[in-house]
Amino acid sequence: MAMNPRKLDNCPAPAKLNLFLHVVGRRPDNGYHLLQTAFQLLDHGDTLHFETRDDDRIRRTTEIAGVPQESDLIVAAGRLLQSAAQGRGSYGKAIGPLGADIAIDKRLPMGGGLGGGSSDAATTLIALNYLWQTGFTRTELMALGLRLGADVPFFIFGQNAFAEGVGEELSPLATPDCWYVVIEPGVAAPTAAIFASPELTRDTKPVRITDFSKASIGFGKNDLQVVAIKLFPQIAEALELLGQYGEARMTGSGACVFCGFIQEHEADRALRGIRENGPAHWNVWKARAIQQHPLSHLLKS
């Protein structure tokens, strides 16, 4: 990642996996689902590039099919930080106009359960906070990020986490140093439809962070998976093939599925097998687990 006072190039927006995802209840005030999950960062994701402007315009310079600028979380994140910095008045440390051009090398699919849009938004908040010298702390940026989506605070949190609530109550979590094979089965799973299903289990018994910490790969389950595979048989097909090599499951609300391997050669074997035997339209890749977000050093605690 190259840095100068006006530019930040090659800023990672890493993918995440939900190593397990349990729905343990619903909030009585608004009906939001209460979750428990373990978030895992990967060394695979989108890459963003930032350059400040001499005006206050926030502009995405890369075209993304099906994602107009006005509905992109990247642009929304920039505008949110811009507004928050201006609202600080004399307490802010911003210098010059708060504008930016943002380019993206998009690798993560939409509707895949890998947190692509949320990760892009988090990277935008972190990078522009640094470039604009707006002085927000990690905690303050996490609070802003929650307004964009429940997963955004995790990426700003900056390390693997045990999450509760709607996903915003985060505790640091040590996870295995391992490799993951991920299948993108070519469908986008709508989160709202899966959470709205009457077949969704909403009363899984809560676990403790120590329960996960004592376990190896394969702890728990994904409560959303049963619903998702009924809506999208492609997810079931991917799970069946990947399951021949280990404990396969869906991440988030889908549609991507993954399997963890302690040894890289085991992951390579699964990768070859799936590429040889799976449908040609699947995107299959290998990634290593990482413990920290690559941009964590740009934030004040």
Q: Predicted confidence band at 4 (pLDDT cuts at 50, 70, 90)? A: low
Do 104 and 47 form a contact (C-beta atoms < 8 A)? yes
Do you find a cis peptide bond into 255, omega within 30 degrees of 0? yes
Residue 146, H or E segment = helix 138-146
Q: Could you tell me the two tokens for 47?
A: 């890459």
Do 110 and 125 form a contact (C-beta atoms < 8 A)? no
DSSP bridge partners of 58: 100
- Residue 9: what pLDDT? 97
Output the pTM of the full model. Answer: 0.94
- How far is residue 245's CA from residue 265's CA, in Å, rounded to a whole number? 12
Q: Could you tell me the two tokens for 170?
A: 């985060």
Do 173 and 38 form a contact (C-beta atoms < 8 A)? yes
What one-character-per-residue DSSP string does 105-119 give? Answer: E--SPTTSSS-HHHH
Q: What is the DSSP letter of 297?
A: G
Report all structural domains of the chain as residue ranges with CATH numbers, in order of start. Answer: 3-172 (3.30.230.10), 179-290 (3.30.70.890)
Three-point CA angle 173, 178, 179, nearest 5°:
125
Measured in degrees and rounded to the nearest 5, phi and psi for residue 111 equal 65, 30
Q: Does residue 184 or residue 86 have the better pLDDT?
A: 184
Q: For residue range 221-275, list pLDDT tens digits in order.
A: 999 999 999 999 999 999 999 999 999 999 999 999 999 999 999 999 999 999 9
- How far is residue 251's CA from residue 264's CA, in Å, rounded to a whole number? 21
Q: pLDDT at residue 215 above 90?
A: no
- Residue 88: what pLDDT? 78
Which sequence positions are flagged as catalytic? 16, 151
Q: Could you tell me the two tokens for 67?
A: 């994602």
Q: How many helices (H) and strands (E) does the chain have?
A: 9, 11
Q: pLDDT at residue 133 above 60?
A: yes
